[in-house]
A = this chain, B = another copy of it.
Amino acid sequence: MVTLKDIAERAGVSVSLVSGVINDSPYVRMTEATKQKVLDIIEESGYVPNHSARSLKFSRTDVLAVIIPNISDPIFAGLLAGVYAGAEKHGYVVLLGDARELVSGSKLLERIMGHGQVDGTLIRHSATLSNDVISQLAKRRAPVVLMDVSETEDLPWVGLDERKGTARAARHLLSLGHQRIGFLGGEREYPGTQRRIEGVRRELGNAGLSLDEKDIWFGHQEPLEGYATMQRLLASGDLPTGLIVNNVTTATGVLAAAADAGVRVPDDLSLVAYLDYPAAALVRPAITAIDQPLFEVGYHSVELFERIRRGDQCESYTIQSPAPRLIKRNTTRRIGPTLVRRQTG
């Protein structure tokens, strides 16, 4: 490994001079000739400064730990893209971890808890993550920012207006004449789920309708869980005509369960999923969904982190723009007098 000292020797100058050349230090001055000579030698030797040494000196690693509930769920693709863009902009590199691996004794946990190992941590909270871990992290010196989470006092966050998002979904179904609208998916304990339900409830309330407790079906996010939750709903034999699914990932499973049970979407049941991703356009029927600016959440989370890190005055915030947008595809249709409510179960 070629070091500063090697370069200095080859150039016949001191290490401080070489360091000065590399960092354009105002303290170190030299003639243009020696500067060029040093630069040439650096170039030809392929010298790259040792990062650990710089980290030690500056107490910064330029790495950002990012924890999401499930690395492979495409629902987080947009969020991650935003994080990566922000990280690149601010000179960070991303240590990506799965919340399910953040267990006691794991290298990952050790790393993000340690000193001088990462500059900070961005977390997309979820039921898989223990509050214990979060509060431990909050005590560390390295800043923690919560992504896609809002209205928490304990830690800084960048979130979405979830109520507005699901309200948009409900408005769409209402405009198609649906009167009995259900909500499926999401964990009961997760605050985001509650806010999403509130959005639906509020919109239905504005229309003089209400969201019946029996039309709320909690469940986990994975497609297979969506399948199972939908099976429970179907088994009840008492279906709403419109269904808002907590998450587009869940919706894939919901659609499969409906198809397997012979419930036709959108003829028998209209469905709109909260949150969108490109693959939703390729399921058949293509999923009507609410698009929210997840990229922005990721990007701004890095921004917020950076401000906290520099000690700037700053506050948590909700990304309001662009507003939740309805992506009309093929899982909803106007309810008509001819719609025959199909009973299953």
Task: Find chain B residues with CB under 8 A from A48 CB.
Answer: 113-115
A329 to B252, CA, bound (A): 17
A98 touches B114 (CB 8 A): no
A51 touches B114 (CB 8 A): yes
Q: Is A176 an interface residue (CB 8 A)?
A: no
**Docked complex: A93-115 residues within 8 A CB-CB of B:** 93-98, 101, 106-108, 111, 113-115
Our pick among B56, B97, B224, B259 for the contact of A53 (Cβ within 8 Å) is: B56
Q: Is A316 an interface residue (CB 8 A)?
A: no
A223 touches B116 (CB 8 A): no
A115 touches B51 (CB 8 A): yes
A223 to B108, CA, bound (A): 32
**Docked complex: A279-305 residues within 8 A CB-CB of B:** 279, 281-284, 286
B107 touches A93 (CB 8 A): yes
B80 touches A107 (CB 8 A): no
Our pick among B81, B84, B95 for the contact of A93 (Cβ within 8 Å) is: B95
Chain B residue at minimal CB-CB distance from A50:
B116
Query: Given contacts A51-B114, A71-B80, A72-B74, is CB(A95)–CB(B284) below 8 Å?
Result: no
Chain B residue at minimal CB-CB distance from A2:
B115
Q: Which of A18-26, A59-67, A162-170, A193-201 contacts B (4 or more CB under 8 A)?
A: A59-67
- Residue in A1, A52, A87, A255 with the greatest tally of chain B CB atoms within 10 Å: A52
Q: Please count how many residues in chain A sit with their CB below 8 Å of the partner chain's CB atoms.
A: 57
A132 to B52, CA, bound (A): 26
Task: Find chain B residues with CB under 8 A from A101 CB.
Answer: 84, 88
Chain B residue at minimal CB-CB distance from A259:
B284
Q: Is A49 an interface residue (CB 8 A)?
A: yes
Given A71-B77, A256-B284, 18 more A-B residue pairs with CB atoms under 8 Å apart are: A49-B115, A50-B56, A51-B114, A52-B52, A62-B111, A63-B63, A71-B80, A72-B80, A74-B74, A88-B101, A88-B107, A93-B108, A95-B96, A224-B282, A227-B282, A252-B282, A252-B283, A256-B286
Binding site for B on A (CB under 8 A): 1, 48-53, 55-56, 59, 61-63, 71-72, 74, 76-77, 80-81, 84, 87-88, 91-98, 101, 106-108, 111, 113-117, 141, 223-224, 227, 252-253, 255-256, 259, 278-279, 281-284, 286
**27 A-B pairs, CB-CB below 8 angstroms?**
A1-B115, A1-B116, A49-B114, A50-B56, A52-B56, A52-B59, A52-B61, A53-B116, A55-B56, A63-B63, A71-B80, A71-B84, A72-B76, A84-B98, A88-B108, A93-B95, A93-B107, A94-B95, A95-B96, A223-B279, A252-B279, A255-B284, A256-B282, A256-B283, A256-B284, A283-B283, A284-B284
